[in-house]
Amino acid sequence: MSKQGHDKGGMTVREAGHKGGEARKDELGHEGYSELGKKGGQRVHDLVNEGKQAGHGRRK
């Protein structure tokens, strides 16, 4: 049995994600892929701020 817990000989989830990311970058080009990353980063920022406003970001 392989390290991933299966014996099918396929790629790992990490390898599949990398392959998909490379395909998406080829599809969008460098500028488009960069913009996509900025949008994702902004969304994370917004979610963190929403959580803080809701009181979930407080530590005691």
* CA atoms of 12 and 18, how far apart (whole Å): 10
Print the domain residue range for 28. 11-60
Number of domains in the chain: 1
pLDDT at residue 42, as a whole number: 97
Q: Is 1 part of any domain?
A: no
**Model pLDDT for residues 14-40, shown as the tens digit of each residue:** 999 999 999 999 999 999 999 999 999
Q: Is 59 part of any domain?
A: yes
Which residues have C-beta within 8 Å of that of residue 56, sequence separation ≥ 6?
A: none
> Considering the entire predicted model, what is its pTM?
0.55
* CA atoms of 16 and 18, how far apart (whole Å): 5
